[in-house]
Structures are given as structure tokens and as C-alpha cells.
Amino acid sequence: MRRLRAVTTRVEQRRRTETRILTAARQLFGEQGFDRTTIRAIATRAGSDPGLVMRYFGSKEKLFAQAAAIPADGPIEGSPEQIAEQLVAALTEKLADEPAAALAALRAMFTHPEAAEEVRAAMTAQQRQVAAQLSGDDALVRSGVIGALTLGLVISRHLVRLDGLDASPEELMAVAGPLLEKLATG
């Protein structure tokens, strides 16, 4: 303990390396999905080694679970008008910049069962909140269409890079916002 302070301590070095690996994993999972992303590629991009990746994260599955954890959305509640307002705000944010972890989950959800469950859970949670506050016997369908529209826009912009969706979030919401209002208010 009575030593000259090392330039970087050991725990800090460990933390940095883990972060580099996790960042590289998020990027690659988001770009290529789960199956096409190899432990070796992650290690290379992180400037590290496949063996370390395994030692630190246990397995490719566990690494993915950590890298593709979707941050929970805030609660949605209030009158239909307030609901619409909150939906617009949430979607605007998702269009501006969706976190890399969420993009990784979205990319992988179509081929990776656990990623599918992750996204389903997140979407279902929001959907139930919305449906509970809406009136009308088609509330469930409308909340479903809200989810589908949200999913479609986020995917089309960040993953598919569809023509016309590379506009600014404001321009997009000028078009999509009224749709959400219509769906929320009936």
C-alpha cells in the first residue's frame, strides 16, 4: 500500500475495459444483430481479447442481455389530451436519439427470442397504461396502433433508414404528432 500511485489503478482499469467491451457490443449488436456479431469482433473493436470478454461477462448471451437492456419509459397518465402530449414527447425523444442499447434490442428482436421478449415487455407496459386511460370499446386496438406506429417510425428511421424519415424530429412530429392525438382522443 505504501507505493507510488500507479497511473491507473487496477479496479479502474477493469472498469474501463468492461465499459469499452460493453460499448463495442452495443454498437455491433445494433449494427448486425445477435447472430452475426461474434465475440471476436466485439473484442477487436474494444481493443481487447475474446477470453476477457468471456471472463467478464460469462457468455455471449449474458453480454447481450446487459448490452441490450431497454431503459424503461416514464409513466403515462392523465386525460386523453395529456396522454397524447406525453406520447408525442416520448416519440420525439426516440426519434432524436434512441439509445444504442435499445437499438440493439430492436435489431435483434426479430431473430432472438429473449430480445423479442425484452421489447415486448417494454411495449406492452406502455400499451396497458395507454389503453387503461382511453375511452371507447376500441381502446385496446387504438393503443395497439399507437405502439405499431411508434415501432414503425423508430425502426424505419434508425434501422431501415427509410427515405423521407431522415428529416428532423420536429418535421417528423409535425406529421406524426396529429396522428397520435387522433389515436388518443378517438
Partner DNA sequence: TCATTCGGTCTACATGTGTTGACTGAAAAG
Partner DNA sequence: CTTTTCAGTCAACACATGTAGACCGAATGA
| 128 near DNA (CB under 7 A) | no
| 132 near a second copy (CB under 8 A) | no
Put residue 71 in one of left, alpha, beta given phi > 0 → left and psi -120 to 50 → alpha.
Answer: beta
Kindly list the distances between the CA atom of residue 119 and the CA atoms of 3, 86, 109, in Å, as whole numbers in the listed order.
49, 20, 7
Min CB(16)–a second copy separation in Å: 30
Out of a second copy, DNA, none, what residue 136 binds, judged by CB under 5 to 8 A for its kind, is none
List of residues 6+ apart from 158 with CB closer than 8 A:
98, 103, 106
Residue type, 120: R
Min CB(183)–a second copy separation in Å: 7
Kindly list the distances between the CA atom of residue 10 and the CA atoms of 13, 51, 114, 120, in Å, as whole numbers in the listed order.
5, 18, 34, 39
Binding site for a second copy (CB under 8 A): 32-33, 35-36, 107-111, 116, 119-120, 123-124, 127, 131, 138, 140-145, 147-153, 155-157, 159-160, 162-165, 167, 171-172, 174-176, 178-179, 182-183
Binding site for DNA (CB under 7 A): 1-3, 6, 9-11, 13-14, 17, 37-40, 48-52, 54-55, 59-61
